[in-house]
Chains A and B, each alone.
Chain A
Amino acid sequence: MNFAGVDIGSTMTKVVLTDTTDKVLSAIKGPTGPEHRQLANEVMKSALEQAGLQLDDISYIVATGYGRVNVPFADEQITELSCHARGVYSIFPNVRTAIDIGGQDAKCMKIDKGKLIDFVMNDKCAAGTGRFLEVTAATLGIPLQDIGDISLKSTKKIQISNICTIFAQQEVVALLSRGEKVEDIIAGLHYALASRVATLARRLKIEPDVVLTGGVAKNSGIVKAMKESLGCDLLVPEEPLLTGALGAAILARENYVRAREKGEALPIKSRRLDKATFYNNGS
């Protein structure tokens, strides 16, 4: 038996295929893009190819992320909060708090043995999300993947006072014209984001172990700034983007096995990689 987790985030679509022991058979990431409603099947196809499997070989499929209702071949939808909680727990069994910084949101989860017990999410603006770094990196003309390492070279602490992404962008321009060094400005941006997310996380009681996930966790500068803002150590999975999809695949196995043991029928969708038609609010 094999299981699939499909995580359609605002920026990236992720698919993880697992077996009955939760071993990862394949893991694929692709940009969600403007066509995100229709691309889940493409990413799924690549994941199946990589694992040498057919869609019929997958016993149960869980979709998660903002686009979870747009996966026509998914058997069940579970929020990304529960999926991240479960995915992170499978990698770090002592996790009590997880912070996920994605492309368009940031969330903090309290976890008890893999189960989500409480959470907070940012409000809708881009402050405290990956988009904040994307926009400001573009202003500085630096590739996004380089800004973390550049920020580590900073020797001067610069305070970015604006939390709003657009105003911060203007502040960056002003700092540049004042002659501040790029690495110091980038470090300042990292601390601005980290302090915003840390404040959000403190609305819950932060208990160790604390794990950082999401695309932004790949940025070494953010990891450092988050550690300082939270005042505690942080664990980062090797693939911080995949914990949601991994958790979805594990929950797929758990829900499937539980239903079988209880003799309950599960609503299995037809195993066809149809394109989603249109977002319908899930109703």
Chain B
Amino acid sequence: MANQKSKTYEGLSSAQDIYLNRSRRARELKAAGKKIIGYPCAYVPLEMFTALDLVPYRIYGSIREPVTEADRALPTSFCPFIRSCLDLALKGKDDFLDGLVTAHSCDPQHRTAHIWESCVQYSYTHFIDMPGTIRADSLEYFKGQLGDFKKTLESFTGKKMSLAKLKAAIKSHNQQRALVKELYQLTKPIPPLISGTEILQVIKAVMSLPVFEGNELLSQVISEVKNRKDGPAQKPARLLIWSSTLDDTDVMQIFESHANVVMDESCGGFRPFRAEVKLTGDPIDGLADYYLKEITCARTFRQATIGETRKDYAKDLQSRFGYLKSMVKDWKINGAILFLVRYCDPFAFEMPSLKNYLDSIGIPSTYIEYDYSVGALAQLKTRVEAFMETIG
């Protein structure tokens, strides 16, 4: 089947190839003199790299590589994803990276950043302090953070980040967001034209490439999949996966052996591309607004109203999860898997409310925790199958 695919769909097979050899292009670019900057989180404004001709490279962990080295440096009972990211770095698997930019998306990332920067020698590191809420004063603070980020990037590259360059970069990344949204249009038909597994490969590939190359790949995939006649088979359910990170096709295939995954609301899926950056006079304003408010990661606290002394729960749920309602309708979703990496506190705290919200809009859901390791997949399979039996 893989051979058949490579004959017909160049874009998809190229995405699969990059997915399997993620760092190859970055290594080539480095050999050609480019600087590659790693980032492990969707809160890092990639536009600012692109504006200075730096290549952003999304850092992932690996569920296939047991964490060994990182356990020397970190406590063991917290986020296995970030432990795995550091572990791979300590093992030299990301040795082509010139720099590392982290954001205070959650405490494990914040605390790990210090250790990471001291254990691995990079030419450039920067830490962005993310406010925890979307209030107006948070936004002002965050603009200041992005101003600092710009300054350190300028001093690292010895180049000035002009308004024109930053605006052009925003346009390119907005184009990428538009293309990803177009890609997800292709899961709307019944059956979908593209599988969740294929989308995962495409998105992960795109996050390993400079923006222009990523956009080319996306365009190619979209044009070939649009007219496809041999897409995924129709399965009994159309699922939404809501997760912090879902970055391995083995996991996705467990979901897809019983259902069509039509929406992957995770960090390596739709989430970083859901909205777009507004082009403002000072581009930093638009970037700050987007990265603070539009990335629907559980780490940010969203309140329906500020200053009310009594909470209206239904209103609160609506403001936190309302965006899922149209998703469910537009993609004809009939089940949701709330897929949690173990010890991920921000996402775990969202679960009871999110489940209530999904109940209120009539979507059955199940909450599954996993260890970010291939060893945990047999248990995962039982839980997924049992959930499918409850909605089937």
The residues of A with any CB-CB pair to B shorter than 8 Å are: 66, 78-82, 115-119, 121, 123-124, 281-283
Contact = CB atoms under 8 A, between A and B. Distances in A.
A82 B386 contact: yes
A281 B253 CA distance: 11
Contact of B385 (A79, A123, A124): A79
Given A123-B369, A124-B371, A80 B382 contact: yes
A76 B385 CA distance: 13
Contact of B382 (A79, A117, A123, A283): A79
B157 interface: no
Contacts of B257: 282-283
14 contacts: A79-B386, A79-B389, A80-B382, A81-B382, A81-B386, A82-B386, A115-B390, A116-B389, A117-B390, A119-B387, A119-B390, A123-B369, A282-B381, A283-B257
B383 interface: yes
Interface of B: 253, 257, 342, 366, 369, 371, 376-379, 381-383, 385-387, 389-390
Given A81-B382, A118-B390, A283-B253, 14 more contacts: A66-B378, A78-B389, A79-B382, A79-B385, A79-B389, A116-B389, A116-B390, A119-B366, A119-B387, A121-B379, A124-B379, A281-B377, A281-B378, A281-B381
Nearest to A121: B383
Nearest to B254: A281
Question: Chain B contact residues: over half helix, strand or loop, or mixed?
Answer: helix
A52 B381 CA distance: 36
Contacts of B382: 66, 79-81, 121
Q: Which of B253, B369, B385, B386 has the largest number of chain A CB atoms within 10 A?
A: B386
Contacts of B376: 124
Contacts of B369: 123
A82 B378 CA distance: 17
Nearest to A124: B379
Sorted nearest first, the 6 A-B pairs with minimum C-beta distance are A81-B386, A79-B386, A82-B389, A79-B385, A116-B390, A79-B382
Contacts of A283: 253, 257
Contacts of A66: 378, 382
A124 B382 CA distance: 13
A117 B382 CA distance: 15
Nearest to A81: B386
Q: Which of A79, A123, A282 has the largest number of chain B CB atoms within 10 A?
A: A79
Q: Which of B376, B382, B387 has the largest number of chain A CB atoms within 10 A?
A: B382
Contact of A116 (B342, B378, B379, B386): B386
Contacts of A115: 390
A119 B386 contact: yes
Contacts of A124: 371, 376, 379
A78 B388 CA distance: 10
Contacts of A119: 366, 386-387, 390
A66 B381 CA distance: 10
A93 B360 CA distance: 29
A247 to B, nearest CB: 12
Contacts of B371: 124
Q: Which of B369, B379, B385, B390 has the largest number of chain A CB atoms within 10 A?
A: B390
Q: Which of B257, B371, B381 has the largest number of chain A CB atoms within 10 A?
A: B381
